[in-house]
Every structure is written in C-alpha cells, then in structure tokens.
C-alpha cells in the first residue's frame, strides 16, 4: 500500500507540475458555474414576478440545463487530457522498463496511477460540491439527498472514465493517440447498448454494458446497486486489462497464450454486469426528500400485496401506429417503464406477442411512410410494412392465429397490455396524448383490479338516457368509456356497463348505479326495483336537466328531494344566461354548468345532505321557458322568478345495513358530457365524485406532497456577488496558485 501511495503522490506531482491540470480546473470552474449561476438569476426573476416554482433543487441540479446535466455533457472531454500521459509517457520515454524491472508489482503501479487520477477527479467533484453547498444555502429547504446522490453518480462516472483512459494510455506511446482512443471507447460504450437489440441474450448483455443513461437514476436521487456495481465492475475490468497488458509486456509469452486471460476477465465482467442488473438482485435507496424516485405509498401498498407471479403480456400489432413501442429493438426501454414496480413485485414477468390484424389505417401516422397501399390485402400491407421496418414477417401471427388466442377487436387491435394474476385479468392501454404511456396511477389501478373487484358503474338504460359509449355531445363516453383517454374511468380502475331495471338480480355487484338524465318516465315496476336497490344501501348517481322535473322527481322523492321548477340563470354579455359557473362552498372548485335546475331538500329518508355546488348569488331561478340566445334577461317576480343562490349538486349519505350509503344528485346533466367535460374543473370534479361513490377504491391516489424547495433566498444583487466569487475570484486564485507552483518548480 505504501508503494501505491508513493506512486500516486509522484503522479499527482507530475500532473500539477503541468499547466494542463490547472487549465482544465479553471475551465471546469467557469464552465460549470456559468450556466448554473445563470439559472439562479432566471429563477429568482421568475419568483419575483409571482410565478410558482417548485422542485428548485431538481431544476438547478439534475434537471434540463442544470449543473449535473451540464457536467454530464462535457466531463468526458476532460478525462482524456488527464489520462493520456499516465502510461504512454512512461512508454515513450523508456522509463516503463525501469518500472517493470523495479521491485514494484504491476498492480501497485496501476493502482497508484489510478489513485492519482481519481484524486484529481475528486477535485473536480469538490468544485461541483462548492456549487452544491452554495445551492443548499440559498435554496429554501434544498433537497440535500438529491444533491449527494448526484455527486456520487458523477464521481463514479469520472472514476470509470479514468480507468478507461488509463488502459488506453497503456496501449500506445503516443499521448494524442491515447486521448483519441479514449474518446472512441467512450463513444463505443455509449453506442453498444443499441447493438443486437433484436436478440434476447445479446440484447441484455449489450444494453447493460452500455454506459448511456447509467447516471440518470443517481443524478435524480435514486441510489441503486445495479448502477453502482456497473461502474465498479467496469472500473475493475479496465484496470485488470491494464495489468494484463503490462504483464504481457514483461513476460515472453506469445499473444496467443495471453488471449485466454483477457477472455476470462471480459467474460467475468459481462456476467457480473448481467446478473447484477437482474431485478431481483437490485437494492434501491431513494435519497430524495419526498421520495420522488419511488412509487407513492398507495402504489407501494398495492404492489406489496402481489404474492406470486404477475404477468404483463403486451400484444403488438404490426399495423398499429404504436408498433415501435413493443418491437424487440425497444424492449429494454419498454421494460424500464416498469422498473419501479419491479422493486416491489419480484415476480413481475413481461411477455410480448406479435401479430398483424386490421386497424385504423386511415388515421395511422405510420402509414404515411409506407407508400401507396391502394388495392392491397391486409397480408400484403403487413408484408410491405414489415419490409419497410426491417422486421421478420414470420415473427408476427396472422389474424386467424391471434383471434384464436385472444379477442383484441374490442381494443381495435391497438397495442394493449393484459395483466394476469391468479386467474384474474386487467387491461393497460396507450393513450392519444403527447405522452401516450400509462402513468403510475393507471398502472397501479390495473394491478389493483387484480386484487379487488373493479368498481362497477351501471348505466340505467331504456329511457333515452345519456350513453356511456356514444360520442355525441350530450353523452358520457369521454369520462367513462373512452379507451384512449387517460382519465376515463375504465382506465382508472372502474368497470362501465349498461343495465336495465327489469330485475333486481341485474343490480348485483354494482358499485354505483347511474341514472343519467332519463327523458322518459320510469315505470312503477322499475321504481320499485330502484327503491329496493336504494333500501339495500346501494350507491346512486342521478343527473338531470331543466324541463325533466316531472320525469325525475318521482326518483328524487326516494331520497327526500325534488327538482325545483325553472332554470338557474345569470345574464352575461359574453355567455348564454343559462351558462353558469358553480362554486364548491368547501373546496372552491369551479364547475361549468350549461342549463341547471335547483335542488330542494325535503329532509326525508334519514339522509345527511351536503351542498357541493351553488349557483352564483347574483343570479336567480327563472320560471318558464327561456330563450338561450337572448342577450338580455330580466328578473320577473310576478312570473315566479326567485332570486338567490341555489344548490345545483348535492351529496346524500347515511348509515344503512352496516355500510355507508352515498348518493350524488346534479340538477345539470351536461357538466360531465363529452361537450362540457373540458370546461373549468369539470373533469376533476366528476372524477372526484366517482371516487367518493366508490369509497375511494378508484382512482388510485398517486399524488405527492408539494416540494418545499420553492424559493431562492437571495436578492438579484447577491446573485451577482455570487457570480463574481465563482466566475471571477475563484478562477483567478486557482490560476495564481497554479502559476506559483509552476514557476517554483521551474526555478528548482
């Protein structure tokens, strides 16, 4: 160990007696600080203008343009300048012969030189650490764990680059060649992850050997054994290769006798990288303040209940516009989307099934690259697509074969994942959004459906009600049954079905019975069945419209309520008089309603009533017919108009038969229709109502506490002073100290 340290000290003295080391250090200080401190000023101005800025620690360090992200982009350029002379200098000067003939082990030579260059690398990390300390001092409630994890990742990356540079320096006596070769190896390790992605075992080896993205989790605050061991294994690999290289130069063995030793070292490294990357062997530690790199507590609770194998089968249609997502070349990227779940579900297994079948070619954005498809059969189109994409048509099942296996026509043959666990199944889809992939909420909901029954919402039919499957403006398809809409209920853990009131048996296993604005009277028999369902404690949702009082009041009487005659109005120069923004008295959640009637309590039936939405106090209840296009509307008490703020949506609840019964009634049926859902906070309001009615089972709450690092505790002038220190004073002091060292050395 003493010889190793002696060599390290000697190498460091050589390094710092060269202007390169000082020049690199100065450039690193200025380059790192320019962008970082500039972002400080930008965020300070944004906060001063009243903008809410959250997650400042993430934004300023690993975020786009942040200190760590910027360092990651240029750190690889510095290392070859520092390592190119480590061994090539010894070779070109002839001193390597003295080293090899001295009573010093080759291992001590290599480790000593490596220790020297990693010490310099640690000096670069200290520079980043100085910026990090400044950040923690001026950012309110800075996330120290995130910063520590990021610095650890960058140090491991620097040490890995140093090991590679040391090995490349041992291969040639020319320092420039060593530097260029080092950069070439860096590029190769970035690129190797794209090699052989179509073949399973090779795909895993090359993907996990690749250095690309290895620091991503560490920079974001997630310390994990997979990435840490990767860096340590690669470091050990190149140091071992360097030792073997020098031993080969010392011995008289032929090169053919040396190859097996190199092969053993490389093979051992590849196997270690492969097995250390297996999900069941990975250990994680989330260092972020609010555990942002882990599943939320609710998702963890669901995931930990999975006991045994959980299979996710992805069905990939060659003719689907999302086909690239499921192809073998994208396999590892696709698997990474479920990494957080693998932490808590060791038995998670991913499968892929490939086929081709009819789909919406007209609106398929991939088809524009396929040329003219006129007159081609489905098989011919598939063959053409396969040829253009460079995939083997034989890997894709025919329509007849896939239909024997599973019916995907209900999913329009789009890319879909089927989750299976102990005989139960659920579905996970892609969405027509910029980010098409399911978020944690959708994935957890799909897993939870395997553990508990999906909350079944039953739409009563037979009276010209709103539909859950039709796309017209008045219907509820977007909020309930739209497969490619992320927030639709079927993608949040609910089951949506139609039901008639012909028999009480049809209401079994119903979580919420939805009577969506019936336009025709329910029969007495249907009212009796509905009353039995209510008396049994079933949850109900009722929506209605002005003009339907005679139809809906017999139903509302079952709850001790009725719909007031007339329409709620509030004249406006910009909107129709019936277009109102209703306010939530408790949460302040504005909801747009286009034509609503007031609800009146009768306080019968033992229900506790709470008002969810109130009409504006400046409006009134207008009796009689209304011209919705009228620009002016006057209050006329003689015709029955009454001023005031009226309930437009209420919830009722009571304890019955050992459970808590919940009822929601709205005097407007349009607030969650396809046409009105995007207005105000209608979508969120509707979702929250269904969550309340389903007793909180779905949707799964994956929200996180708001980050506390939301302010920069420096004034603009103080940030300017900080720039003077880091970008002016610090580089000058380093330059003066370096000049002093170099001049003193030259005089000696």
Q: In terms of domains, do 678 and 723 share one?
A: no
Statement to judge: residues 281 and 310 lie in one domain: no
Q: In angstroms, what CA-CA distances link 222 with 90, 106, 288?
A: 41, 37, 7
DSSP 453-478: --EEEEEE-SSSPPPSS--STTS-HH
Q: Which pLDDT value is given to residue 202? A: 66
Give the CA dihedral 287, 290, 294, 296, nearest 10 degrees. Answer: 160
Q: Give the C-alpha distances (Å, rounded to integers) separating 124 from 21, 59, 436, 462.
A: 11, 21, 40, 74
What's the pLDDT at 507?
92
Cβ–Cβ < 8 Å for 645, 613: no
Residue 497, token pair as written in the block: 């079905």
Q: State whether residue 349 is helix, strand or coil.
A: strand
- The reply to whether 203 falls in a domain is yes
CA distances from 624 to 71, 385, 589 (A): 70, 62, 30
Domain assignment present for residue 440? The answer is no
- 482 CB-contact burial (10 Å; exposed 0-12 / middle 13-18 / buried 19+): buried
pLDDT attached to residue 195: 67
Distance CA 67, CA 71 (A): 6
CATH number at residue 502: 3.40.50
Any idea which of 41-45, 458-462, 526-530, 658-662 has the lowest mean pLDDT?
A: 41-45
The distance from CA 29 to its chain's CA centroid, rounded to whole angstroms, is 33
- Is the same domain home to 25 and 151? yes
Whole-angstrom Cα distance, residue 201 to residue 192? 14
500 has a pLDDT exceeding 70: yes
- Which of 429, 445, 466 is the last residue in one of the domains? 429
Rounded to 5°, the CA angle 588-594-598 comes to 70
Burial of 461 (0-12, 13-18, 19+ CB in 10 A): middle
pLDDT score at 315:
97
Q: How far apart are CA 372 and CA 366, in angstroms?
A: 13
Q: In terms of Cα–Cα distance, which of 153, 67, 162 is closest to 121? A: 162
Decide if pLDDT at 310 tops 90: yes
Task: Name which residue leads in pLDDT, 416 or 573.
Answer: 416
Interacting residues of 735 by C-beta distance below 8 A, sequence separation 6+:
22, 26
User: What pLDDT, on the 0 to 100 scale, is given for residue 544?
Assistant: 96
Write down the pLDDT at residue 677.
93
Whole-number Å distance between alpha carbons of 448 and 698:
9
DSSP sequence for 17-57: TSHHHHHHHHHHHHHHHHHHHHHHHHHHHHHHTT-----HH
708 domain-assigned? no
Helices and strands (H and E) in the chain: how many: 26, 20
Residue 395 lies in a domain: yes
What pairing do the DSSP bridges indicate for beta strands 455-460 and 494-499?
parallel
The percent of residues in the chain predicted with pLDDT above 70, rounded, is 93
Ranking 246-255, 261-270, 544-553 by mean pLDDT, the lowest is: 246-255
* pLDDT tens string 515-536: 999 999 999 999 999 999 999 9
From start to end of 547-646, where are the E strands? 561-563, 567-569, 579-582, 591-594, 599-601, 608-614, 620-622, 642-643
* Mean of the per-residue pLDDT values of the chain: 87
Please check whether residues 409 and 480 belong to one and the same domain: no
Query: What domain range includes position 372?
Result: 297-429
Q: What single string gives the DSSP state of each residue in 697-724?
A: -SS-----PPPS---B---HHHHHHHHI
Nearest to 489, CA basis, from 511, 472, 473, 505: 511
- 282 lies in the same domain as 377: no
- Averaged over 289-297, what is the pLDDT? 92
How far is Cα 350 from Cα 305, in angstroms, rounded to an integer? 19
Same domain, 398 and 478: no
For the residues 367-388, what does the mean pLDDT come to? Answer: 81
Judgement on whether residues 539 and 688 belong to the same structural domain of the protein: yes
Give the containing element (helix H, strand E) for 383.
helix 378-389
- Looking at the fold, whether 15 and 150 belong to one and the same domain comes out as yes
Q: What is the pLDDT of residue 421?
A: 96
Question: In this structure, are 551 and 627 located in the same domain?
Answer: yes
pLDDT of residue 92: 67
* Among 429, 462, 480, residue at a domain's last position: 429
Q: Is residue 698 part of a domain?
A: no
Is the pTM of the predicted complex or chain greater than 0.85?
Answer: yes
**What DSSP character marks residue 281?**
G
- Strongest mean pLDDT among 11-25, 528-542, 606-620: 528-542
**Cβ-Cβ contacts under 8 Å for 585 (sequence gap 6 or more):** 611, 612, 614
Question: 99: which residues sit within 8 A by CB, 6+ positions away?
Answer: 90, 109
Q: Is residue 438 part of a domain?
A: no
The average pLDDT across 431-455 equals: 93
Question: Can you tell me the mean pLDDT for 202-224?
Answer: 79
Strand partners, 580: 593
User: What is the mean predicted confidence (pLDDT) over 495-502?
Assistant: 93
Q: Are residues 553 and 675 in the same domain?
A: yes
> For 102-122, what is the mean pLDDT?
85
- Helix pair 175-191, 144-169: axis angle to 10 deg: 130
Contact call for residues 722 and 40 (beta carbons, < 8 A): yes
Q: What is the pLDDT of residues 702-745, one digit of tens each?
A: 998 888 888 888 777 777 888 888 888 888 898 888 888 888 77
Residue 256 maps to a domain: yes
pLDDT at 683: 93
Pairing outcome for strands 620-622 and 567-569:
antiparallel
Contact criterion met (CB below 8 Å) for 429 and 486: no
**3-state DSSP assignment of residue 588:** coil
Is 471 part of any domain?
A: yes
Cβ-count burial 136-162 (b if 16+ within 10 Å, e if not): eebbeebbbbbbebbbbbbbbbbbbbb
Distance separating alpha carbons of residues 191 and 203, to the nearest angstrom:
13
Considering the domain architecture, whether residues 280 and 304 belong to the same structural domain is answered as no
In this prediction, residue 111 carries a pLDDT of 87
Q: 707: how many CB neighbours lie within 10 A of its CB?
A: 18
Buried b (16+ CB within 10 A) or exposed e, 640-668: ebeeebbbbbbbbbbeeeeeebbbbbbbb
CA distances for 226 relative to 158, 277, 380, 461, angstroms = 17, 5, 45, 55
Of 429, 461, 496, which residue is a domain's last? 429
Is the pLDDT confidence value at 116 over 80? yes
190's enclosing H/E stretch is helix 175-191
Is there a single domain that holds both residue 253 and residue 324?
no
Please give the tally of structural domains in the chain: 3
């Amino acid at each position: 160990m003493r010889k190793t340290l002696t060599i390290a000290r000697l190498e460091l003295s050589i390094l710092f007696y060269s202007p390169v080391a000082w020049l690199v250090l100065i450039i690193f200080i200025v380059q790192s600080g320019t962008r970082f401190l500039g972002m400080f000023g930008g965020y300070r101005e944004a906060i001063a203008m009243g903008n809410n800025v959250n997650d400042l620690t993430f934004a300023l360090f690993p975020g786009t343009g942040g200190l760590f992200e910027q360092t990651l982009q240029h750190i690889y350029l510095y290392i070859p300048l520092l390592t190119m002379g480590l061994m090539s200098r010894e070779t070109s000067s002839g001193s390597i012969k003295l080293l090899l003939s001295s009573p010093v082990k080759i291992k001590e030579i290599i480790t000593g030189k490596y220790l020297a260059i990693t010490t310099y690398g640690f000096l670069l990390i200290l520079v980043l650490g100085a910026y990090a300390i400044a950040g923690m001092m001026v950012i309110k409630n800075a996330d120290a764990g995130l910063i520590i994890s990021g610095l650890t990742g960058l140090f491991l990356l620097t040490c890995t680059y140093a090991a590679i540079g040391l090995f490349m320096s041992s291969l040639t006596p020319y320092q420039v060649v060593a530097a260029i070769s080092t950069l070439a190896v860096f590029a190769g390790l970035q690129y190797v992850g794209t090699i052989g992605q179509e073949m399973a075992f090779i795909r895993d080896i090359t993907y996990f050997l690749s250095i690309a993205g290895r620091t991503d989790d560490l920079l974001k605050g997630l310390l994990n054994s997979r990435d840490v061991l990767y860096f340590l294994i690669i470091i050990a690999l190149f140091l071992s290769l360097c030792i073997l290289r020098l031993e080969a130069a010392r011995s008289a063995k032929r090169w053919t006798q040396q190859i097996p030793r190199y092969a053993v070292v490389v093979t051992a490294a590849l196997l270690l990288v492969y097995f250390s990357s297996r999900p069941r062997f990975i250990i994680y530690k989330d260092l972020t303040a609010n555990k942002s790199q882990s599943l939320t507590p609710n998702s963890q609770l669901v995931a930990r209940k999975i006991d045994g194998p959980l299979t996710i089968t992805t069905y990939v249609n060659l003719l689907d516009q999302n086909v690239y997502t499921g192809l073998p070349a994208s396999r590892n990227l696709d698997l990474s989307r479920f990494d957080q779940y693998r932490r808590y579900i060791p038995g998670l297994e991913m499968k892929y099934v490939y086929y081709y079948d009819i789909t919406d070619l007209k609106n398929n954005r991939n088809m524009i690259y396929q040329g003219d498809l006129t007159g081609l059969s489905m098989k011919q189109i598939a063959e053409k697509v396969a040829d253009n994409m460079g995939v083997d048509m034989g890997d894709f099942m025919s329509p007849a074969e896939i239909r024997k296996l599973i019916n995907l026509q209900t999913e329009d043959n789009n890319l879909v994942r089927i989750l299976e666990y102990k005989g139960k199944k659920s579905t996970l889809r892609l969405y027509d959004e910029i980010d098409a992939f399911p978020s944690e909420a959708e994935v957890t909901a799909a897993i939870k459906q395997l553990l508990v029954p999906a909350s079944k919402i039953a739409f009563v039919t037979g009276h010209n009600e709103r539909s859950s499957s039709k796309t017209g403006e008045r219907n509820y398809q977007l909020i309930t049954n739209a497969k490619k809409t992320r927030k639709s209920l079927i993608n949040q853990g609910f089951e949506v079905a139609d039901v008639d009131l012909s028999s009480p048996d049809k209401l079994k296993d119903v979580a919420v019975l939805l009577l969506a604005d019936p336009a025709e009277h329910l029969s007495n028999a249907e009212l009796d069945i509905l009353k039995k369902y209510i008396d049994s404690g079933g949850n109900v949702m009722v929506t209605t419209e002005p003009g339907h009082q005679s139809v809906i009041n017999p139903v509302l009487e079952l709850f001790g309520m009725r719909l007031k005659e007339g329409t709620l109005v509030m004249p406006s120069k910009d909107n129709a008089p019936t277009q109102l923004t209703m306010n939530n008295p408790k949460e302040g959640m504005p909801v747009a309603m286009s034509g609503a009637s007031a609800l009146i309590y009768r306080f019968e039936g033992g229900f506790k009533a709470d008002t969810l939405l109130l009409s504006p106090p400046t409006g009134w209840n207008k009796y009689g017919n209304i011209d919705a296009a009228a620009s002016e509307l006057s209050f006329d008490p003689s015709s029955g108009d009454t001023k005031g703020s009226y309930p437009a949506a209420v919830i009722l609840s009571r304890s019955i038969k050992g459970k808590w019964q919940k009822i929601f009634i709205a005097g407007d049926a349009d607030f969650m229709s396809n046409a009105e859902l995007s207005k105000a906070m209608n979508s969120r309001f509707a979702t929250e109502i269904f969550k309340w009615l389903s007793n909180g089972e779905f949707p799964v709450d994956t929200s996180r506490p708001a980050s506390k690092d939301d302010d920069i505790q420096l004034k603009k002038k103080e940030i300017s002073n900080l720039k003077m220190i880091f970008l002016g004073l610090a580089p000058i002091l380093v330059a003066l100290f370096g000049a002093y060292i170099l001049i003193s050395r030259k005089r000696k």
